[in-house]
Structure 1
Amino acid sequence: MRTALVIGTGLIGTSIALALTARGVTVHLQDRDHDQARTAASLGAGTVGPAPGAVDLAVVAVPPARIAEVLGDAQRRGLARGYLDVASVKGGPRRELADRGCDLRTYLGTHPMAGRERSGPTAATADLFEGRPWVLTPTPDTDTEVLNLALELIALCRAVPVVMEADAHDRAVALVSHTPQLLSSLVAARLADADDTAVRLCGQGIRDVTRIAASEPRMWIDILSANPGPVADVLTAVAGDLEETVRALRSLASADDAKRGEGAGGIEDVLRRGNSGRARIPGKHGQTPTAYATVAVLISDRPGELARIFADAGQAGVNIEDVRIEHATGQQAGHVQLMVEPQAADRLTEVLRGRGWAIRA
């Protein structure tokens, strides 16, 4: 691939363009918001303006509802040898393209499983897709050249290709992406009118649950409008679990010992099923999840503190597998949680204590 056209210079489109230009591909940028396209170009994502001829690959990075319109227009104008989209929903756009009589041989639906809470070109990064799954939904009609161009794009973005059927993809993302967004927003919405005293008690748990509730609503309306059925199916199942959990909690408040026992059993069931589901989420590098040990260290909010603790861990010969920071409300301090292999936890604790760090038991 030597030339590419990116249509749509939001977070995903601009990140793709940045990754391609960094690896020597000449990228042309197009967006109906000309100011946004110019912003992407100023960041080094490519050049604004038409290519002198057909490019190797056109990447359509617009909301799902606009895929068929934009991609169909690009095909009619002969802008590229191959075309793909990167929308988060695959079945609907493909059917609409077929209804419009578009050439499905030169088109491939794809979806990079990456994003951020922020949107727009200024949030884009060339490494957004590194190590992330990138779904391909080819059909028997998909031209081999287009599939190869898509695989080359994924390699240049350093993502991991995953082949799926379009409707199976839509059901999957309803479960692992779209429903979590709504549930996060529902929990965060409870905080909008909560007492200030309650909000000041927010700890890491609710920060984790509500992190993606900061996402742009308009973007999610576009996504959910293109995949409402599968999301509604998952939420229906969640609603059933919620009803059972509410009944179990009411039973726990009963004066009847038998009812309290039933309530405890109901709560334990949902918690254990949650344990089982959580354990299926792939761990580091997509491997089977590992139960890491956590070493929690008190850390002050000063420049260089994180670098110092990582350097001390390195001196101990311990690899930090993951890290989280739990901020202390109203204080210039917090706890950094260092996740390490269980057999390394005692050695890391001993070395860090010897270097003056306060370890939380």
Structure 2
Amino acid sequence: MSDTRNDLESVLIVGAGLLGTSVGLALSSAGVDVRLRDSKPEMLAEAVRRGAGRPAEPDDQTAQLAVVAVPPEAVGEVVAGVLGRSEAEYATDVASVKVLPGTQVRAHAHDFGRYVGSHPMAGREISGPGAALPDLFEGRPWVICPDEHTHQQAVTRALSVARMVGAAPVTMTASEHDAAVALVSHVPHLVGVLMAARLVDAPSHQVRLAGPGIADVTRVAAGDPGLWTEILTANALAVRSVLGELRDDLDELIGVLDTAEPAQADLYRLMRAGVDGRSRLPGKHGAAHTEFATVAVVVDDKPGQLARLFADVGAAGSNVEDVRIDHSPGQAVGMVEIDVRPGVDTELRAALTARGWHVHA
């Protein structure tokens, strides 16, 4: 079969972890016949229970596409088996590196042109089918990496999956992808891990002062160490390149701070580079980056407070662009930071104050 439709009627998902189950939830809700397979029966049972699809059966007809959601080093063998046994006409994978899986597929699969690597740029700090979300990929980039051997229909069907789950497809080569994720995902994860590791032996009176800054930097450090070991091993060269550049920046900063009187001009230049770099990050829904105004509200730690606050924000006619919650150490209150468009913040502060909220200036 080699139809050219963009829609899919049947998909086999191999691997019922966070990504595989999330893909299954999204495709199942779109009416796709999703068959699930996983080497761990408990993972498969949980994914099925959550509505991500049904267990794959030996007598199933050939699926139009297989989505392989296994660790990078296992992709080649799994893809070769799926295609060799005619369990699917075409295959893609969702591993977070692309050079290694592509190399392994070419080594294992007879007709490797029926495979195209892909990677949804979405995830969570927690893993497993219980953490899956049907809207995990909404508005997120989904990278597809064809090469000169890839069948067009493999690309078409991978694009269909990306669009059906609400992602924004992006095409690049496997090596371009691996260099990009080393910069925007893998090394940031390592920085968070290294900073979090500094807390292990830190005195408790220091850790007690932790606030949103350290929480933001170390959030990703809660990721599965085993999975990240596999990812970093598979993308070692690209990660090493970015780490070398980061080391040069750290050496420069240490050199500035080592002087008797640190040069403020040099420090400012380094700080300014951070501001400029962050401004290049995509904004909401992939639009250009926008700096928002923040309205900080003190909220009591008791049921119903957040619901009442957001109801009052809505009543004031303000659209929430982003929100953060910081719990005050040792106190039964928290700080809710609401990001809104510049110019809206003044009116929102006044409206919330009028409704009895304690709003920081």
Give the conservation status (yes or no) of the 8 Å contact 1:328–1:334.
Answer: yes
Match of 1:290 in 2: 290
Q: Does 1:343 align with 2:343?
A: yes
Q: Partners in 2 of 1:159 and 1:332 — Cα distance?
A: 39
Structure 1: gaps spanning 5 or more residues: 255-259
Match of 2:38 in 1: 31
Match of 1:157 in 2: 165
Match of 1:329 in 2: 329
Shift of 1:101: 4.8
Residues 101 and 354 of structure 1: CA distance in aligned 2, closer, same or farther (over 3 Å): closer
Deviations 1:19-70 (A, max 9, x none): 1111111111111112211221111111123252211111110000001111
Larger deviation: 316-325 or 274-283? 316-325
Give the conservation status (yes or no) of the 8 Å contact 1:131–1:160.
Answer: yes
* One-letter amino acid of the counterpart of residue 29, structure 1: L
Match of 1:236 in 2: 244
Q: Does 1:197 align with 2:210?
A: no
Give the conservation status (yes or no) of the 8 Å contact 2:12–2:56.
Answer: no
Q: Partners in 1 of 2:126 and 2:340 — Cα distance?
A: 30
Give the conservation status (yes or no) of the 8 Å contact 2:83–2:89.
Answer: no
Shift of 1:261: 5.2
Larger deviation: 344-353 or 34-43? 34-43
1:24 alignment partner, SS class: coil
2:310 alignment partner, SS class: helix
Match of 1:22 in 2: 29
* One-letter amino acid of the counterpart of residue 34, structure 1: P
Match of 1:48 in 2: 55
Residues 224 and 102 of structure 1: CA distance in aligned 2, closer, same or farther (over 3 Å): farther
Residues 101 and 152 of structure 1: CA distance in aligned 2, closer, same or farther (over 3 Å): closer
Q: Does 1:2 align with 2:9?
A: yes
1:82 alignment partner, SS class: strand
Deviations 1:244-289 (A, max 9, x none): 11111111xx1xxxxx253x23222211111111110011111111
Give the conservation status (yes or no) of the 8 Å contact 2:11–2:33.
Answer: yes
Match of 2:185 in 1: 177
1:60 to 48, 65, 68: 68
Match of 2:100 in 1: 92
Q: Partners in 1 of 2:158 and 2:279 — Cα distance?
A: 32
Q: Partners in 1 of 2:164 and 2:286 — Cα distance?
A: 20
Match of 1:224 in 2: 232
Q: Partners in 2 of 1:170 and 1:285 — Cα distance?
A: 23
Q: Partners in 2 of 1:102 and 1:227 — Cα distance?
A: 25
Give the conservation status (yes or no) of the 8 Å contact 1:244–1:266.
Answer: no
2:337 alignment partner, SS class: strand
Match of 2:119 in 1: 111
Q: Within 5 Å, give how 1:210-289 maps onto structure 2.
A: 210-251=218-259, 254=260, 260=261, 262=263, 264-289=264-289
Structure 1 runs of 4+ aligned residues shifted over 4 Å read none
Q: Partners in 2 of 1:57 and 1:330 — Cα distance?
A: 53
* One-letter amino acid of the counterpart of residue 93, structure 1: P
Match of 1:257 in 2: none
Q: Does 1:76 align with 2:74?
A: no
Q: Partners in 2 of 1:324 and 1:290 — Cα distance?
A: 17
Q: Within 5 Å, give how 1:309-324 maps onto structure 2.
A: 309-324=309-324
Report how many aligned residue pairs link the two structures. 353
Deviations 1:274-312 (A, max 9, x none): 111111001111111112111111111122211211111
1:338 alignment partner, SS class: strand
Q: Partners in 2 of 1:111 and 1:275 — Cα distance?
A: 28
TM-score by structure 2 length? 0.95
* One-letter amino acid of the counterpart of residue 271, structure 1: M
Q: Partners in 2 of 1:93 and 1:102 — Cα distance?
A: 15
Identical positions, percent: 46
Give the conservation status (yes or no) of the 8 Å contact 2:76–2:109.
Answer: no
Deviations 1:119-146 (A, max 9, x none): 1111111111111110011123322222
Give the conservation status (yes or no) of the 8 Å contact 1:113–1:133.
Answer: yes
Deviations 1:102-121 (A, max 9, x none): 32321110000000011111
Give the conservation status (yes or no) of the 8 Å contact 2:256–2:262.
Answer: no
TM-score by structure 1 length? 0.95
Larger deviation: 304-313 or 11-20? 304-313
* One-letter amino acid of the counterpart of residue 314, structure 2: G
Q: Partners in 1 of 2:118 and 2:251 — Cα distance?
A: 37
